Structure 1
Amino acid sequence: MTSFSNIDSAYALATEQYQSTGVDVENALKQLRATEISVHCWQGDDVAGFENTGGTLGSGLAVTGNYPGRARNAAELRSDLEKAYSLIPGKHRLNLHALYGEFDEPVQRTDIGVEHFQGWIDWSRDQGVSLDFNPSYFSHPLADDGLTLAHPDEGIREFWINHGIACRRIAAEMGKTQNNPCVNNVWVPDGYKDSPADRATPRYRLAESLDRIFEEPFDTSYLLDAVECKLFGIGSESYVVGSHEFYLGYAITRDKVLCLDAGHFHPTEVISDKISSTLMYVPELLLHVSRGVRWDSDHVVTMSDELQAIMQEIVRGNHLRRVHIGLDFFDASINRIAAWAIGTRNTLKALLMALLEPREELQRLEREGDFTARLALMEEQKTMPFGAVWDHYCATSDVPVGRQWLDSVREYESSVLSKRSESPESVIA
């Protein structure tokens, strides 16, 4: 166990070192405390949801692994989330998908309403956790051929348009209740496995469908509409209707939030390089922080160069108020609560590292053309005592310091997760 006196001593020394480079550590921590990460609900149950229809995950999504103890209903998922939040410093949000409503009986996705999410709304109020939302355009018979809002069949398009309309109304009510905007993010899997003969027409259909969904006006103080782009996916390797260029143009012309997912681009392409340019033309960004490995595999977020670059771009450009940071990964090969803790803590660590940069000094050197000093300072920054500041932040936030959080996960696994049946169908939500 790390003693508080050791943490305090290390923090005092670290503060002194950072001050020598012109960095205000307390101000950096203040900004970090004010930043809420939108934690994704679907890591807790492998994107199964609670529709109780017996459907399986599909439409270009895949979760690998079968680690015991996955949440089988909303009560278990909320319990697991509470455990995860207790291991993560700060106050954070929850990102819900539409298929996570609480349904006493099967309900068509066009007919879902606020009443199916009242349990989540009540829980969020009790926990002080704000909600974000997503329509679910996958794992459904009407999405089996890989097309939804861009489908050539007008009836199928109408079904998914009405689902989108219903989701916006739910999200707006969430935003009203929590008194801050609920970000409602639209992602559709639409695309083709092989090269299409007509790339344009599906995109016209998608734009028309989105316009229908967004037709009803809502106050942006409680609802923010976001649209999410993608390069390729399982079953849409050759063509995705909602490409980056499509959604960038749509977000600019319709004044929508643009969602950039770290796993949705070519393996050599990074979203950190897109943040400053897209924010010139769209009002706000939503980030889905993930880790693609060779393909859009959504691995648990680690302390990678790209994660650090994403946070550096947000901080260096003074974009924190215009960027919503959410997570999007699902790993069923390891303890799911540990995955939440690792991914969210790493995201916060990377943000803290960016906040502890001597940003003004680096940018001054750049303006003056002193690229030698700029590079030298950036490299010296890598050995600054960031860990001592992070430990202090965790300790003062009443969450475990260092590896101690893993002991808490193991205890929860032994006392709670191990008691869960491996037959989720037998559990009544």
Structure 2
Amino acid sequence: MATSVNSKLQQAVTDLADKRAELLVALVRCPSLLGQEGDAQRLMAERLVDLGLEVDVWEPDVDEVRRHPAFCAYPGFEELGYRDRPMVVGRLAGAGGGRSLILQGHMDVVSAEPRAAWAHDPWGGEQVDGKVYGRGSADMKGGLVAALSAVEALVASGIRPRGDVLIQSVIDEEAYSNGALACALRGYRADAAIVGEPTGMEVIAAHAGVSHFRITVEGRSAHPAHKTEGVCAIEKSMLVYRALMDLEADRRARVRHPLFPNGSPVEIVVGTMHAGSWRSSVAGEAVLETRLGFAPGETIEQVQAELVERLRVVSHADPWLRDHPLGLERIGYTASADLPIEHPFVGVVRGVARAGGLGEIELQGHGAGNDMQSLIHHAQTPAIVWGPGASDAAHVANEFVELADVERATRLYAETIAAWCGLAT
């Protein structure tokens, strides 16, 4: 019986190849940049309705989401809000007696600029040699298509899971995971979840927390003819930069997590610096925006306290900074998260991967944030990250995903549903 059901399910996945490609191309052709996710989300909702799922489409209540401690604003949010930026959840009701599963992905994508770097239209969804090119193809519309196609294979086969299966298509992942938070506040949770970010089908069971800070360095402007009367904020900011790099080295030496091969995800990056107001003036101010990574088990409060202390030390050592305190503002963060390797869902996924030809998988840690943390912390749903496409294809020109990878993910998702949720006889 099990072999017959498995064969039926796998044949359905094969038969859906053209529909997967068509949907992926259609989604890539919807430029779902931050604030422009509406068309792509409506298309996703239509396809879920066509499958006969119970579909919930809603625009989150801005005030409700904003009140949550995990909410982080981002540039433009006050103007955007959630008008025409819906969340979409489809539910395939189980027959009863099984465990539930969420398949989650995000519809929002990053900018495709500079366009001149692209050999393919970033919004064209071109198919070349088995690859679909375009912004969001790998990150992560390929994962969303695989999730939908796995459920469609069940429906087409007449196979019903015992536990509920939910497909959650969210927005705002590229901006602090507010969309995943909105789903949790809506009450959506399950016994386990898969986030279909592009991992090359490696299983991510831990990821970094990410914090962003703005550091303001005060100087004193002066005319070049009176340079010695000024204090260059750029020079003082170099003291801050060196202190940040020393903090990174210190944390790298002592912060550890077993799923990160290089020790821990503590990278500190100064991403932008804006200084001065005129090329012929001593810079009177410098503003650095920086990213600090932190490991599962650490909190944003711990990381911020370390940063504050390091800045205090560098300021105390410099007479000017001692009298002109550095400004520090936390401008956003997402928490770190991990799933214990002994969790039953990890065992199920390993078994599915082994049967699917992936061999004995090694759990990995990922040095960036994603929606896994929101599922774990706010929806009380154990989660992993596992999806088609290469992570280094994301956020770059000529982004692509291979259709064969999307098909493989579809098969593995379908088998995971069968193994985790159970199948009704």
TM-score by length of 2: 0.27
TM-score by length of 1: 0.27
Higher percent of residues as helix: 1
Higher percent of residues as strand: 2
Higher relative contact order (CA 8 A, sep 6+): 2
Larger Rg: 2
